[in-house]
Structure 1
Amino acid sequence: MKRLINLTPSRGGRWLLGLLPFLVVAMVYLSLSNARLAENPNDRLLPAPATMANTFYTMASEENQRTGQIVLWADTFASLERLLIGVAISALIGLSVGLINGGLPLIRAKFSPLVTVISLIPPMAILPILFIAFGTGEAAKIALIVIGVTPFLIRDLQGHALRLPDEQLIKAQTLGGNSWQVLTRVLLPQLTPRLLNATRLALGTAWLFLIAAEAIAAQEGLGYRIFLVRRYLSMDVILPYVAWITLLAFLLDQLLARTSRIAFPWYHAEEGDKP
């Protein structure tokens, strides 16, 4: 008799088991929505799927009379631009500081406590300071993402660098490598795939800070639109936008995962990733 811990589903089975929770959630929503709409056809809390689909199609295909833009795509491009710039800056700083902190003990002794303290500061608490310092434009929103994500990346990469076998550093120095060569030829190649994985984990946090910043001060963006229509209880807009954000986050996550597997297959072999 096989133990439960040893039972592994097939590839098709994993897909079916993965879809099962979504089907359950959809069935629960449909039952609750039908019940509320049966009592009150004008109920706005749980709109019918057809209503949400029609609203989503309208926002994705018709121009706004005031701005002349298609609302969904204008919001999406604005949010993605802020998110990608913020995450890219965070990744660059995180890799640079994490590499130096992880490889140079003297630098680590000076800056590691500072990074730890910064990582403990709630980024949302300093959002008013960012608006005062940078104004309500794009810089403040991008800065919030950078401040919220960068310390996590630094600490993750620094920790990974410290966990690398000492034998690698010793061998590199025995072969005549100086400090710069050890950092760039031994540590950097092994931290780069880890950076992609850490960035995947940080994407959810980056989205959180982006939506929060857009909700407070923005003229377009996914977060701005959600908080704009909430006062009208427009759940036929809010729920599709939440689903759209989730889809975008999933696609970005899968893009990073695919890039990592193609560029660094040796890393995933060592980690024991399964297809």
Structure 2
Amino acid sequence: MRIINRTLSRPTAILLGAIPFALLIGIYAIASHLRRADNPADKLLPSLGRMADAMWRMGFEADKRSGDYLLWIDTTDSLSRLAVGIAISTLLAICLGISIGFIPHIRRGFAPFVATISLIPPITILPILFIIFGLGETSKVMLITLGTAPVMIRSVAQAVMDIPRELIIKAETLGASTWQMITRLVLPQILPKLITAIRLGLVPAWIFLISAEAIASTSGLGYRIFLVRRYLAMDVILPYVIWITLLAFVIDRLLLKTSLKAFPWNHLAGESL
């Protein structure tokens, strides 16, 4: 049997997936050991034990000044901003995406505008957002929304346009109104595509979130990373980066599992990434 036709067992798949991570950890541990052998005070590549101690201190020891557990405070604040921004983008994607994809007049009027807005690097308008909305939560949420909504709208609109024309004709033949077709035909068809759009939108959303927190914030994962960088505290920075990656991975997997369970018919072609 050719290798491309072989089906992997779950233990084998897990093992193969773990190999790159194990190699990365091993390479880092060796590099860290070699640097500290030459310079015990080296801060660039702290040992795994030192990073574990720093993470324990941030997460399970109260801060001497505020009395807060900084890791959890930062995580809660960052996830709250991310959730609000993505929620607004999702609502816009549903309303505008379906309208643009299903109604020709709206498509002609708004599709070029949305396409143009999606090409603007959102990080470049961050100073404008700070001027308009101040340095509070609104500017950070707006950056996430502006950075993710246009692309999600275009993705949903394309998903609507990809619906087979035969289905729409059948609905019209049965006397369905435009609203009935949107709610009973279009929306069920594009929901799995919407979840995919959210998953893809979360990648730039994390970038914009960390950038906004680094520039103007008093809490959050991005704020903490850029706060401790002045002390070259790589034992804090690297675990925070790993923690952000883990959060992003868990959210992505939860969305995928939701899609697999709610819309199994959308995943019949094979495995989903």
TM norm structure 2: 0.97
Partner of 1:45: 44
AA at the equivalent of 2:234: M
Identity %: 52
- The code of the aligned residue for 2:199 comes to R
Matches within 5 A, 1:212-231: 212-231=211-230
**Aligned equivalents of 2:270 and 2:164: distance in 1?**
18
Q: Which deviates more from structure 2 when the two are superposed, residues 191-200 or residues 238-247?
A: 191-200
Query: C-alpha deviations, 1:53-91, integer Å up to 9, x for none?
Result: 001001101111222211101100000000011011111
Q: Paired residue for 2:193? A: 194
Cα deviation for residue 13 of structure 1 reads 1.2
Task: Map 1:243-258; keep pairs closer than 5 Å.
Answer: 243-258=242-257
Task: Name the aligned partner's letter for residue 178 of structure 2.
Answer: S
> For residue 175 of structure 2, what is the aligned residue in structure 1?
176
Report if aligned partners of 1:95, 1:191 keep a CA contact under 8 Å in 2. Answer: no
Specify the SS of the correspondent of 2:66: coil
Deviation at 1:180, TM superposition (A): 1.2
Q: CA deviation at 1:232?
A: 1.0
Stretches of structure 1 lacking an aligned partner (at least 5 in a row): none
The aligned counterpart of 1:166 is 165
| In structure 2, distance between residues paired with 1:160 and 1:272 | 19
| Structure 1 residues 147 and 33: CA distance shift in structure 2, 3 A | same
**Mean Cα displacement is larger for which, 178-187 or 219-228?**
178-187
Give the Å deviation of 1:32.
Answer: 0.5
- SS of corresponding position for 2:65: coil
For 2:237, give the aligned amino acid. Answer: I
Q: Determine the structure 2 residue equivalent to 1:70.
A: 69
Counterpart of 1:6? Answer: 5
Cα distance between partner residues in 1 of 2:234 and 2:201:
28
Letter of the structure 1 residue corresponding to residue 63 of structure 2: N
Q: Distance between the aligned counterparts of 1:20 and 1:261, measured in 2?
A: 26
Work out whether residues 229 and 237 of structure 1, in 8 Å CA contact, stay in contact via their aligned partners in 2.
yes
Normalised by the length of structure 1, the TM-score is 0.96
User: Which residue in 1 is equivalent to 2:33?
Assistant: 34
Q: For each residue in 1:135-188, what CA deviation from the matched residue of structure 2 results, as whole angstroms up to 9, or x when unmatched?
A: 000000000000000011111111111111000000000000111111111101
1:274 CA displacement = 6.3
Residue 139 of structure 1 corresponds to 138
CA displacement, residues 96-141 of structure 1 (integer Å, 9 cap, x when unaligned): 1111111101100000000000000000010000000100000000
Q: Secondary structure at the match of 2:7?
A: coil
- Hey, what's the Cα distance between the residues in 2 that align with 1:22 and 1:8? 22
* Aligned length, in residue pairs: 273
> Post-superposition shift, 1:268?
2.3
CA distance in 1, matches of 2:267, 2:198: 16
- Corresponding residue of 1:124: 123
Does 1:272 pair with 2:270?
yes
Alignment of 1:233-244 (within 5 A): 233-244=232-243
8 Å contact kept, 1:64–1:70? yes
- Match for 1:272: what amino acid? G
What's 2:111 paired with?
A: 112
State the distance in 2 between where 1:91 and 1:47 align: 40
CA deviation string 1:245-264 (max 9, x = no partner): 01110111111112222222
Deviations 1:221-270 (A, max 9, x none): 0000001111111000000000000111011111111222222222223x
